[in-house]
Structure 1
Amino acid sequence: MTSARRLGMFLMLIFLVCSSTLASKNDGDFSNCESIVTKWAKSSTEYRVKESKRTLKDLLFFLHIPRTGGRTYFHCFLKKLYVKSDECPHSYDKLHFDPREPKCRLLVTHDDYSLMSKLPEDKTSVVTILRNPADRIFSTYEFAVEVAARFLVHPNLTSAIQMSRRIASKSPGVSTLNIWPWKYLVPWMREDLFNRRDARRQGEFRTIKESRNPYNVSELVMPLLTFIEDPMAHEIIHNGATFQVAGLTNNSYVAESPTIRHCVRRHPVLGRYILDVAKNRLDRMLYIGLTEDHKGSATIFANMVGSQVLSQSQALNMHSDKFSANETGKKF
């Protein structure tokens, strides 16, 4: 099976995972939704590749889909390939850098593809990693529980803002609680954890020792099925990778993004337009990795992207040295 076919199947699966109760095609707003979605899709699809997509451009935009192993690429590859001054500051948080700044050569973020509207498109290469959607959703659930549970250790921290400030005071980096999608998922999970803890204290749940079913931990944490079926998960996690590549998350720069997501939830048949745009954008990317083929993907990344970054850096250093020499010559 070719890589392109596998990627297409992964994205297709995303539209089959955990569907909500949806309206039929005969609903009165279907025509209006179809008009909105198709208009956006037409304006978002690019049919020509003006130059080789395999050539690294001036700015590398790592579109980091959550829970795909992207941190490994960032720490083991990109942070070693680029010097600190090349990284766009606070990129995981929000767009806090000037895209016209020539020294900003690496942008790593959970922001979706709509961020390209703020970047010099003709000078930007995009890379990403995809993962089986069922595994990615389960991993998202586990991580949301893990981060939210830290609040139980610090009961005096009553809000995500306080926790964020505490973390920020100890580290110059961007807090997880400021990053999409965790800035939405963690406070939601934290509130649920505290409600369940309070219910245990009030005797509504049996104590942990009294529970006879080791697989029923609802006294402690939101069950996975409840998590999956909650409207919060439908808004952020279901079809999350596809909407992120399409640039339509609830963190999008596209004004009509909420309307388009609403239309697709009500009329799943319209999802094919979102899928087509996402596949078109994947086809134009410099590199796409697969979490399930981590070793193979990492090898391709090193050969395709890493080698070009090194060549690009050497060329920039030679240009910088030549410029310095010319300036020195002018002084004498």
Structure 2
Amino acid sequence: MRCEIVHLMLVFFLLLLISEASEANDGYKQCEHKVKNWASFSADTEVSGNQHALRDLLLFLHVPRTGGRTYYHCFLKRLYSSSLECPRSYDKLRYNPRKSSCRLLTTHDDYSVMSKLPREKTSLMTILRDPIERVFSTYEFSLEVASRFLVHPNLTSVLTMSRSARRKTSGVSTLDIWPWKYLVPWMREDLFSRRDIRKLRGQVHLVTGDPYAMEDVVMPLHEYINEPITRDIVHNGATFQLVGLTNNSYFAGAHEVRHCVLKYHSLGDYVLQIAKKKLDNMIYVGLTENHKESANMFANVVATQVISKHKTSSSNSDGAGDNDSERHSQLPDMKTDANDKDENIYQNQKNVSSTGKDYAIQGNWTVGKLMEAYNSCVSKLRHSQADRRVNSLKQLYPANFTKEARKQVPEALIKEITLLNSLDIELYKYGQYIFGKQQEHMTQSMVHDEELSGILSTSTYRGIYNTPSWKCVSLSGAALMLLLIFIFICVSSRRRTSKVKL
């Protein structure tokens, strides 16, 4: 009897395992079908043409923690006046297509924002960062911003203050911006929870140690990287952003496709290939680690074309008169959407995008002047950011996040972060390849321009006097001068002869 019961139980478990395996296989096939369909659609929507040529609209896909804020303030705001900037697409302050005159859109949105834009008239640029460093930076920045709220006695006080502040201002808070809209409140709640536990324990003195493992003060890094929200937003975030599959996507099926890739890692190859194609079609791909080289390349590849367009636009407007309606009629029409915000929200977006001093001088810029202004701006911006970081992290003492502290993180944890960001690792390698190709193209273009300039400068004199027509004119002039001299001598001789005869 016992043998029969054991036999039946074994058969039951075997059938259960077969059923689960079948369901898992069906789940994989369904996911594979979804991802393949998405990849096929994404490949079909690629824009053809010369990716090095600047089109009417420049879209800066700002991958978080890559130094994009520096580019925006120190480069782009000096090249584009506020009137040419689109409302920045930060989460609920998403891109509004009613402002058809814009020429620049900087955004944390993902690639799906292209569905709102004139695809054939838009150039894309982005900056990539070493994925391991980007995870560290994301973790630290989340803590930095969240720690600013620790001046309050409790979380309830924070929420009350936040609601009051939002009613009084129409400005953009870090909490409005993707992905900090999700990461900072989560980290803020965790910080208050840990502080409350310390108070209950009566802990006053904390031992200084590894800041990434100081669980009495902050969420340890090893815990952070394995949280569901981190897996969904942070890991492989650059790849998902470049293909339009973040949780901030305009694409309705983004959530399902992304989670299929997170569940079945082998499907990530489809996403990676599409991401590489996106990089291929961008006018500029910078690297955070190659900061100086990237800035120089941006100035010579993108900025020169922006300046040239400004000069052309200025000369055309001077000839045709300063007519706003005529100029706007030449701008690309942006696509509209049934879910557009009302006019009041659009006005708030417009105000947000045009705040601050307008540094743009448009056509008066040269690459040299731009780089001087950029270097000065970067120095000031880094100084202010460093001061703010130090003041914010004082709330987390004795946790002290430095470059030296990063080097002390266990190798096993680094390997785990590497595995969790396998797509971003491969994308970054490809970005380095693209960066090298861009440098080659820039060098060739600069050499060609120098050679052309040399030819024009030397041919200015030679071209006038060494052509056959000018040689003929020169010879004819010399002959004419000789003839006049001969006639003058003959006439003078006759006069002297006549005088002698008289």
Superposition TM-score tier, normalisation by shorter sequence: 0.7 to 0.9
Per-residue displacement from partner, 1:211-242 (whole Å, max 9, x unpaired)? 37465421111111111010010010011000
CA contact (8 A) 2:47 2:120 kept: no
Q: Distance in 2 between matches of 1:260 and 1:155?
A: 42
In the other structure, the counterpart of 1:238 is 235
Cα pair distance change 1:212/1:87, threshold 3 Å: closer
CA contact (8 A) 2:47 2:119 kept: no
In the other structure, the counterpart of 1:263 is 260
Residue 321 (1) aligns with residue 323 (2): no
Aligned residues: 302
Q: Distance in 1 between matches of 2:86 and 2:108?
A: 14
CA contact (8 A) 1:160 1:177 kept: no
In the other structure, the counterpart of 2:65 is 67
Q: Distance in 2 between matches of 1:164 and 1:59?
A: 36
Greater mean deviation of Cα atoms: 138-147 or 255-264? 255-264
Q: Distance in 2 between matches of 1:101 and 1:212?
A: 53
Cα pair distance change 1:48/1:143, threshold 3 Å: closer
Residue from 292, 295, 311 that aligns with 1:295: 292
In the other structure, the counterpart of 2:391 is none
Cα pair distance change 1:249/1:293, threshold 3 Å: same
User: Relative contact order: is structure 1 or structure 2 higher (C-alpha 8 Å, sep ≥ 6)?
Assistant: 1
In the other structure, the counterpart of 1:82 is 80
Greater mean deviation of Cα atoms: 83-92 or 158-167? 158-167
In the other structure, the counterpart of 2:165 is 166
Q: Secondary structure at the match of 1:190?
A: helix
Residue from 215, 218, 224 that aligns with 1:218: 215
Residue from 29, 32, 52 that aligns with 2:30: 32
Greater mean deviation of Cα atoms: 125-134 or 158-167? 158-167
Cα pair distance change 1:106/1:326, threshold 3 Å: closer
Cα deviation, residue 258, structure 1: 1.0
Q: Distance in 1 between matches of 2:323 and 2:178?
A: 46
Q: Structure 2 counterpart of 1:183, which letter?
A: K
Q: Distance in 2 between matches of 1:248 and 1:156?
A: 36
CA contact (8 A) 2:39 2:270 kept: yes
Residue from 89, 92, 99 that aligns with 2:90: 92
Q: Distance in 2 between matches of 1:161 and 1:320?
A: 52
Cα deviation, residue 99, structure 1: 3.2
Per-residue displacement from partner, 1:261-317 (whole Å, max 9, x unpaired)? 111111100000000111011100110001111111111101010011111112222
**Structure 1: gaps spanning 5 or more residues:** 1-22, 328-332
**Larger helix share, 1 or 2:** 2
CA contact (8 A) 1:58 1:124 kept: yes
In the other structure, the counterpart of 1:190 is 188
CA contact (8 A) 1:245 1:281 kept: yes
In the other structure, the counterpart of 2:148 is 150
Greater Rg, structure 1 or structure 2?
A: 2
CA contact (8 A) 1:36 1:260 kept: yes
Cα deviation, residue 27, structure 1: 3.6
Greater mean deviation of Cα atoms: 216-225 or 88-97? 88-97
**Structure 2: gaps spanning 5 or more residues:** 1-20, 325-502
Residue from 137, 140, 145 that aligns with 1:139: 137
Residue from 262, 275, 285 that aligns with 2:282: 285
In the other structure, the counterpart of 1:44 is 42
CA contact (8 A) 1:164 1:175 kept: no
Q: Structure 2 counterpart of 1:50, which letter?
A: S
Q: Distance in 1 between matches of 2:281 and 2:312?
A: 25
In the other structure, the counterpart of 1:19 is none
Residue from 248, 252, 264 that aligns with 1:251: 248
Cα deviation, residue 91, structure 1: 3.0
Cα pair distance change 1:49/1:25, threshold 3 Å: farther
